[in-house]
């Protein structure tokens, strides 16, 4: 009897000549929140770009200030009196309902942890004309329960906010089905969910869902510079390191995290949607892709649309 063939180890699926979206997950870059990229010091990898139209940043949001857009900040609350927030059009929190269970009720415009105020201030700095609403789902320790998050998100989707900023996530897989259903509901109701990746290299939700716009950090200082990421799950990088953000009581601090990259993209989405009100969520993602620095600049130079 012939000896059996030796067992062969399969070739690795992710080789250097494979496109970024086919490779294994990338290792964590020290000094940058998980899922982010040090684009200031490391040249962004080139990848094939398929131009769909002459979409440029100027076409996407030139002349827009976010007027007419309703933005909801799902977070720890917002200090509505902070000068960098510029006032709120509504402040709510998830609390115990009169008949048991949870309900969204009106509250004072305050922030129990500072996180929501920071995010609201970033959005206002980019899209000063938006209508901002706060829904508190986090506690003083920047934590909350999955049930509270689901209640707040469902309310925001049903209220029809144009953009919902979610600089938060949960690692609890038992909440994934309900969160995914709400993310899909938002998608079909044309509510753009902009969600931050976790700051640690772990899986969490809802940023992993394809129906949301997922954001991690880059380490450059321009608030309007963002990149498309050709190696998902995160889709876009925005400013997220050493960001000067609003803090309750009228102050400011420097802070780092994907939480603060997310409102940069939420603000840019608000500009785009205020200028192009009929865009669907998948069209909005396409515009973000085409206007990203590593797509728009390259395509425009190739096509002769701009000079350098």
User: Length of the chain, please?
Assistant: 308
Sequence-distant (≥ 6) Cβ neighbours of residue 103 within 8 angstroms: 94, 95, 96, 97, 151
Is residue 115 flagged as an active site residue? yes
Is residue 27 flagged as an active site residue? no
Q: List the structure tokens of 98.
A: 């009169």
Identified catalytic residue from 82, 111, 115, 162: 115
**C-alpha pair distances (Å), 175 with each of 40, 203, 289:** 36, 13, 29
User: Directed axis angle between helix 258-275 and helix 281-291, to 10°?
Assistant: 110
**Spatial CA neighbour of 218 closest among 200, 240, 188:** 240
Please check whether residue 201 is in contact with residue 35, taking contact to mean a CB–CB distance below 8 angstroms: yes
**Spatial CA neighbour of 107 closest among 91, 89, 95:** 91
Is residue 264 flagged as an active site residue? no
Identified catalytic residue from 125, 167, 259, 270: 259
CA 158/CA 172 separation, integer angstroms: 24
Name the residues annotated as catalytic. Answer: 75, 115, 259
């Amino acid at each position: 009897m012939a000896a059996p063939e030796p067992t062969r180890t399969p070739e690795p699926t992710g080789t250097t000549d494979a496109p970024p979206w086919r490779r294994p997950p990338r290792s964590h870059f020290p000094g940058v929140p998980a899922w982010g990229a040090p684009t200031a010091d490391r040249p962004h990898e080139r990848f094939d770009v398929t131009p769909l139209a002459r979409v440029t940043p100027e076409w996407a949001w030139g002349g827009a200030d976010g007027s007419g857009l309703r933005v909801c900040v799902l977070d720890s609350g917002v200090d509505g009196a902070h000068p960098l927030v510029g006032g709120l059009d509504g402040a709510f929190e998830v609390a115990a309902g009169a008949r048991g269970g949870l309900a969204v009720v009106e509250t004072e415009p305050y922030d129990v942890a500072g996180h929501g105020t920071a995010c609201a201030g970033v959005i206002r700095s980019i899209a000063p004309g938006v209508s901002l609403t706060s829904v508190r789902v986090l506690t003083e320790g920047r934590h909350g329960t999955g049930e509270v998050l689901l209640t707040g998100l469902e309310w925001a989707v049903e209220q029809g906010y144009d953009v919902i900023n979610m600089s938060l996530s949960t690692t609890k897989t038992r909440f994934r089905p309900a969160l995914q259903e709400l993310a899909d509901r938002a998608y079909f109701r044309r509510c753009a969910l902009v969600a931050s990746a976790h700051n640690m290299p772990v899986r969490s939700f809802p940023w992993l869902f394809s129906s949301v716009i997922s954001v991690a950090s880059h380490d450059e200082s321009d608030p309007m510079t963002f990149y498309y990421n050709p190696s998902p799950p995160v889709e876009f990088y925005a400013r997220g390191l050493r960001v000067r953000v609003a803090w309750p009581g009228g102050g400011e601090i420097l802070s780092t995290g994907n939480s603060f990259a997310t409102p940069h993209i939420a603000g840019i989405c608000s500009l785009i949607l205020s200028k192009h009100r009929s865009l669907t969520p998948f069209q909005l993602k396409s515009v973000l892709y085409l206007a990203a620095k590593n797509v728009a600049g390259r395509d425009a130079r190739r096509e002769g649309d701009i000079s350098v």
